[in-house]
A = this chain, B = another copy of it.
Amino acid sequence: MDIIEMRKFRRREQGEKMKVKDVGERALISTIHRLQAIVPMGYLGIGDDAAYLPPSPAGWLISQDMLVEGVHFRFDWITPEQLGEKAVAVNISDIAAMGGIPKAILTSIAVPGNFDVEVIEALYRGMAKALDRYGAVLVGGDTVSSPDKFTLDVSVVGHPGAKGPVLLSGAKPGDRLFVTGRLGASYAGYMLLCHNVSWPSTSIQHRSVLQAHLAPVARVEAGQQLGALAHAMTDISDGLVNELKAMTRFGGIGARIEAERVPIDQATQMVAKEYGQDALDFALYGGEDYELLAAVPPSRAREAELLCLRCGVPITEIGVVTDTLGIHVMRDGEELAVDERKGFHHFALDQD
């Protein structure tokens, strides 16, 4: 039993919880280290000034995402373990969106001193669980104190797929637009949480959309399969319309999608109905779905579907890239007004 364990043991004997401020950074790092998988040969891990990523003939992809308590999550909505899992998944989703293979993460946390050490342990257990799932390891980061809110910033590095990084740009007129999985479920989950329906809810539909919001899954394997065929790809973190706008930003192109084809599951439909909302809006503007959106040349469309299904991920063709500007959403032969400012963003600043 090391010193951190001993202190914890004594405190637990006394029915007290150990606080971060009683432990100090080095002991906290030891705990974090112990909770993680062994860092493979070639990587140098936690404890030195910098981590080392071995040579890769394909180069490296790197992305960074920050989550702030009270902005991106609330501890009365999400368990620390779910938060750890989600923080890793949403970062790895950025690597999946480039058709890449995640390899390692670095995690910086800013922790208020009166935080329970148990919460940090649970957080890193959640991260370890997600890292196991995606075959990546924790190689470094930073642990600092915060005066008030808990903040978590994760960097993820990975290799590009065999054809190199798949960019957001590169879509061509005539490309078929595909999305993986289902859309809008995360927003449905968020809506439940806003109405005090918390995890784990008793209803199976509620659990399904809460799960989508609290424990999203990155589409790593599907990303590699689609990435080998796609002209352009991204993950749907900010709602389908915003991602389509981002994808068609350059080159004088646009997109036309069929509302009926947008994959929205029954649980999401049910929750939308419960609150008098249109589930399509959840899918178009809701965000945090972490499904993939890919523009695939028509000649490879059937192949894309097959490859994706072969790795167990549903895939749906929802529309086409056009040679005119703008995002057009068709329903029953009529065009719906697309409102990019539609009020489905959680936070004033986090619009993208």
Contact = CB atoms under 8 A, between A and B. Distances in A.
Interface stretch (A47-55, A124-132, A262-270): A47-55
Interface stretch (A141-149, A188-196, A303-311, A323-331): A141-149
A49 B348 contact: no
Nearest to A233: B49
Contacts of A261: none
Q: Number of copies of this chain in the oligomer? A: 2
A110 B50 contact: no
Contact of A26 (B28, B145, B158, B352): B352
Most buried by B among A48, A55, A70: A48
B142 A66 contact: yes
A29 to B, nearest CB: 7
A351 B181 CA distance: 45
A53 B60 contact: yes
Contacts of A174: none
Interface stretch (A8-16, A93-101, A252-260, A271-279): A93-101
A80 to B, nearest CB: 18
A297 interface: no
A113 interface: yes
Nearest to A25: B352
A62 to B, nearest CB: 5
Contacts of A68: 110, 144-147, 151
Contacts of A66: 108-110, 142, 144, 151, 153
A21 B214 CA distance: 26
Contacts of A20: 349
Closest CB pairs A-B (n = 10) = A145-B349, A50-B63, A49-B97, A153-B153, A66-B108, A50-B61, A49-B94, A53-B60, A70-B147, A64-B106
Given A25-B350, A49-B95, 11 more contacts: A25-B351, A26-B351, A29-B352, A49-B63, A49-B234, A50-B98, A62-B157, A63-B106, A68-B151, A142-B153, A146-B149
30 contacts: A20-B349, A24-B348, A24-B351, A24-B352, A25-B352, A26-B351, A26-B352, A44-B167, A48-B165, A48-B169, A49-B98, A50-B62, A50-B97, A50-B98, A51-B61, A52-B61, A53-B62, A56-B59, A63-B140, A64-B155, A65-B142, A66-B109, A66-B142, A66-B144, A66-B153, A67-B144, A145-B348, A145-B349, A147-B149, A151-B151
